[in-house]
């Protein structure tokens, strides 16, 4: 259908898969992801030994696990990036359904690992967080629904995708996991905006978000405690935010030196949610700016390539994946510098975490598959042709 509408032409059918994949791939984005993963291993060498010592493991136990999980994530990313958009969509639907069912079963079979939020399934040797795998699947499924509505006699994709989004947000809020809930809602909102949502409706949705936040504040002690801590002008130096703030301040421009940081001995989540504090303390603002630039480069390059895409499904899905990736990184770093309330969200490809790494690899693989150069011409060619 897409080829009939937009006039795509077939590429070289006889070209081998791997050379064709490499020729059409966004190599800059792949390079940025590889550098981020290398930085994550470097920071893991600094942040994980104290945690390993407290738990009775070898000093680099968590670094080794991060290397294994990260290797699996990179393999998943590269394999997914070789797929066609149609195959990515089919696999995303299957993965989304599995993750959705797993999310629904969390209240009955999940665990909180003493953190006050039931977000994981414990497998003994590892744990799985369904919401991490749900995000990329939902983005692709919602984009499919939104794009289908633009076709003649298409289904009501906006209503369907919005209803699905609200169901997921409510399930995440029950854990509670308001950070992931906001990320899912943001991803849908970006795609809805790109699909042509009227500004009045977007303003109304923003009002609903504010109303929902007010309701969550009044009904959830977990949510209210984090908001109160964020609004309090005085930072308790014995809290995670206090330790992180002090570490960032001590790091300055060039850091205190490799291995000389102290925050890793105080922060229980130094290797996950507050990994950027370790980077700022030991390597200074220089490394933090490099990390921000790497995330920004992936997002900007992806959006620029998607602007030339004719297929509405690919444009919407790619935009949702790219923006969700960038905003998750922004939220993680924003929490560490106290620009946002604490949310318990990892820094993609840098923080430790099997579910986060592998799900992130799949999501970036989907994004790379959508941003590959295809022999269909650019959308500007179509517009110029209609103008003539």
Round to whole Å and give the CA distance between 177 and 224: 13
Rounded mean pLDDT of 328-343? 85
CB 299 within 8 A of CB 237: no
Out of 141-150, 188-197, 296-305, pick the least confident: 188-197
Top-ranked range on mean pLDDT: pick from 14-28, 94-108, 187-201: 94-108
What is the pLDDT, as a whole number, of residue 296? Answer: 97
- Tell me the whole-structure pTM to 2 decimals: 0.88
Per-residue pLDDT band for 10 (boundaries 50, 70, 90) equals very low
Q: What is the pLDDT of residues 208-261, one digit of tens each?
A: 777 877 877 777 776 777 777 667 766 766 677 788 888 888 888 888 888 788
- The reported pLDDT for the residue numbered 240 is 75
Q: Cβ(77)–Cβ(122) under 8 Å?
A: no
| Lowest mean pLDDT across 103-107, 145-149, 379-383 | 379-383
Return the pLDDT at 378.
53
pLDDT for 206 equals 76
Integer Cα distance of 263 and 344 in angstroms: 17
Per-residue pLDDT for 13 more than 70? no
Residue 247: the pLDDT is: 86
pLDDT exceeds 80 at position 295? yes
> Looking at residues 133-156, what average pLDDT do you find?
93
pLDDT(8) > 50:
no
pLDDT in tens, 14-26: 678 888 899 999 9
Angle formed at CA 59 by CA 48 and CA 40, multiple of 5 degrees: 35
Note the pLDDT of residue 94. Answer: 96
b/e map 161-173, b = 16+ CB within 10 Å: bbebbeebbebbb
Q: How far apart are CA 308 and CA 317, in angstroms?
A: 14
Highest mean pLDDT among 46-55, 85-94, 234-243: 85-94
Q: Which of 88, 85, 84, 317 is nearest to 195 (CA)?
A: 317
Between residues 138 and 12, which one has the greater pLDDT? 138
pLDDT of residue 174: 85
Residues 6+ apart with CB under 8 A from 283: 251, 254, 255, 258
Residue 65 in contact with residue 354, Cβ under 8 Å? yes
Percent of the chain with pLDDT over 70: 90
Which range (22-31, 56-65, 184-193, 207-216) has the least confidence? 207-216
Of residues 73 and 345, the one with the higher pLDDT is 73
What residues does 121 pair with on adjacent strands?
128
Q: What are the structural domain ranges in the chain?
A: 2-7+18-381
Which pLDDT band, with edges at 50, 70 and 90, does 53 fall under? confident
Tell me, what's the pLDDT at 350? 93
Tell me the three-class secondary structure of 292-351, residue by residue.
Answer: HHHHHHHHHHHHHHHCCCCCHHHHHHHHHHHHHHHHHHHHHHHHHCCCCCCCCCCCCCCC
> What integer is the mean pLDDT of 137-149?
95
**Averaged over 87-105, what is the pLDDT?**
95
pLDDT for residue 162 is more than 70: yes
5 has pLDDT over 50? no
- Burial (CB < 10 A; 0-12, 13-18, 19+), residue 283, is buried
Query: Exposure pattern of 290-309 as b/e (b: 16+ CB <10 Å)?
Result: ebeebbeebbebbbebbebb
CB 326 within 8 A of CB 300: no
């Amino acid at each position: 259908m897409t080829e009939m509408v937009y006039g795509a032409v077939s590429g070289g059918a006889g070209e081998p898969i791997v050379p064709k994949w490499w020729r059409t791939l966004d190599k800059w984005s792949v390079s940025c992801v590889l550098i981020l993963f290398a930085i994550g291993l470097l920071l893991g060498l600094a942040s994980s030994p104290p945690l390993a010592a407290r738990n009775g493991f070898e000093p680099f136990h968590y670094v080794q696990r991060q290397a294994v999980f990260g290797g699996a994530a990179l393999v998943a990313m590269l394999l997914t990036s070789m797929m066609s958009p149609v195959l990515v969509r089919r696999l995303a639907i299957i993965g989304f359904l599995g993750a959705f069912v797993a999310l629904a079963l969390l209240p009955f079979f999940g665990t909180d690992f003493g953190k006050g939020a039931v977000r994981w399934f414990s497998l003994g040797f590892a744990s799985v967080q369904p919401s991490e795998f749900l995000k990329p699947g939902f983005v692709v499924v919602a984009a499919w629904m939104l794009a289908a509505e633009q076709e003649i006699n298409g289904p009501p994709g906006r209503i369907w995708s919005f209803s699905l989004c609200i169901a997921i947000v409510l399930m995440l809020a029950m854990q509670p996991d308001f950070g992931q809930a906001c990320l899912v809602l943001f991803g849908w909102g970006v795609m809805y905006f790109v699909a042509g949502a009227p500004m009045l409706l977007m303003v109304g949705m923003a009002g609903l978000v504010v109303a929902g936040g007010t309701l969550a504040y009044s009904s959830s002690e977990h949510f209210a405690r984090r908001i109160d801590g964020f609004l309090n002008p005085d930072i308790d130096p014995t809290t995670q935010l206090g330790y992180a703030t002090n570490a960032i301040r001590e790091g300055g421009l060039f850091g205190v030196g490799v291995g000389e940081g102290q925050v890793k001995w105080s922060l229980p989540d130094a290797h996950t949610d507050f990994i950027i504090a370790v980077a700022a303390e030991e390597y200074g603002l220089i490394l933090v700016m490099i990390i921000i630039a790497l995330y920004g480069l992936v997002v900007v390059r992806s959006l620029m390539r998607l602007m030339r895409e004719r297929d509405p499904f690919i444009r919407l899905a790619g935009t949702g994946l790219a923006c969700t990736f960038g905003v998750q990184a922004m939220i993680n770093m924003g929490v560490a510098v106290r620009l946002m309330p604490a949310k318990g969200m990892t820094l993609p490809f840098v923080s430790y975490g099997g579910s986060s790494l592998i799900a992130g690899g799949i999501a970036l693989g989907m994004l790379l598959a959508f941003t590959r150069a295809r022999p269909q011409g650019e959308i500007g060619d179509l517009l110029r042709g209609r103008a003539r």
